[in-house]
Structure 1
Amino acid sequence: MEKLVDEGLVKSIGLSNFNKRQIQNILQHCRIKPANLQIEIHANFPNIKLVEYAQSVGLTVTAYAPLGAPMSSPESVDLLTEPWVLEIAHRHKKTPAQVLLRYLLQRKLIVVPKSVTFKRIEENFQVFDFQLSNEEMHELNTKGSNERQYKLLQMSGHQEYPFKEEY
């Protein structure tokens, strides 16, 4: 990937689904430091330790599946219908999706919500006119299931499977 930067074919290098050990290994051996880490982050899996580590070494962090992934497995929880998320949304006169996106933005994360519906795309931009309180941020950080939705189980036998370690 560094050769692609040298050749001007890419501007920067990013990592996806790397854990702390893997990031440390890259940073120890790279000539061109990665710019970004993309990982699963949402109120059901805030991934706090890995986010803090990545930001501490100068990586920007992109939240994958920022609204959760209710269809990813039968046991997945739909954050958009969780009573505690609905209560925060009601307090701010916002949708649950807007609250969940604002939560991630206040954590200084890059957020790219997926949508093909114009109304939802437009709604996703209406997150800059309110702030969540420290108490609400704490609730969003701690009240969810703390369960990864995308476990990438098809890769679980690989020696570099990133999710065997805490973060």
Structure 2
Amino acid sequence: MDFNSVWAAMEECQRLNLTKSIGVSNFSCKKLTDILAIANIPPAVNQVEMNPMWQQKKLREFCRANGIFLTAYSPLGANGTFWGSDRVLECEVLKEIAKAKGKTAAQVSLRWIYEQGVGVIVKSFNGERMKQNLGIFDWSLDEDELKKIDELPQSRAVTGVAYTSKYGPFRTVEDIWDGEM
């Protein structure tokens, strides 16, 4: 894939006022560095998998330092048919924090992302869950709770295997994530 040409075309769309902002999804620090090296208009946003079980610490720091807003998809782990898991909602640490706060594990996960200064993409068609998702703004996590979350074992739910092919551009999972596993 010719990321440089695609990025140049996206910049042209912005210059023509066809879009207000341009951004990327699932870009590693390396891919962002490559784009920033040729960009006249830097990415406004990078949308990536992020939750307490995949905290993206290095990428968060990189994006913050380069003025790229990070947006989290799969904030609850995305337990789905093709990928994802229920490990976020079943995490004992998150459940314990939730019980102490009178909240749900989902709310703890969403609040943690919010406190990292990251945008959150939630997906629910259930009215009660939508209300719960909005119930993250009138409380906060304390230092001890943040430390417990910071120490959770880390792994991706979206491995990227489905996006690999011997015909490229990503022949291996390492090609997709640039070793940021």
TM-score norm. by structure 2 comes to: 0.84
Q: 1:90 aligns with which of 83, 93, 99?
A: 99
Q: Which residue of 2 aligns with 1:124?
A: 133
Determine the structure 1 residue equivalent to 2:177.
Answer: 163
Letter of the structure 2 residue corresponding to residue 142 of structure 1: E
**Partner of residue 152, structure 1:** 160
- Cα distance, 1:74 vs structure 2: 8.4
TM-fit CA distance, 1:134: 1.6
Tell me the SS of whatever aligns to 2:123.
Answer: coil
Q: Distance in 2 between matches of 1:76 and 1:119?
A: 22
Shift of 1:131: 0.7
**Deviation of residue 25 (structure 1)?**
0.8
How far the C-alpha of 1:43 sits from its partner, in A, is: 1.2
Structure-2 residue corresponding to 1:134: 143
SS at match of 2:46: strand
Question: How far apart, in 1, do the equivalents of 2:123 and 2:86 lie?
Answer: 18
Alpha-carbon shift at residue 99 of structure 1 (Å): 0.7
Instruction: In structure 2, list runs of 5 or more residues that go unmatched.
Output: 1-9
SS at match of 1:2: helix
2:89 alignment partner, SS class = helix
CA distance in 2: counterparts of 1:52 and 1:97, whole angstroms: 24
* 1:35-64 Cα distance to aligned partner (Å, 9 max, x none): 001111011111111111111111110011
Q: CA deviation at 1:155?
A: 2.2
**By how many angstroms is 1:136 displaced?**
1.0
The structural deviation recorded for 1:21 is 1.0
**5+ long unaligned stretches in structure 1:** none
3-state SS in 2 of match to 1:37: strand
Shift of 1:73: 6.6
Q: Which amino acid is the alignment partner of residue 163 of structure 1?
A: W
Structure with the larger RCO, 1 or 2 (CA within 8 Å, 6+ apart): 1
TM-score using structure 1 length: 0.91
Q: Does the C-alpha gap of structure 1 residues 73 and 128 become closer, same or farther in structure 2, counting only changes over 3 Å?
A: same
Give the RMSD, CA atoms, in angstroms.
Answer: 1.9
Q: Quick one: which amino acid aligns to residue 92 of structure 2?
A: P
| Amino acid in structure 2 at the alignment position of 1:103 | W
Aligned equivalents of 1:22, 1:75: Cα separation in 2? 23
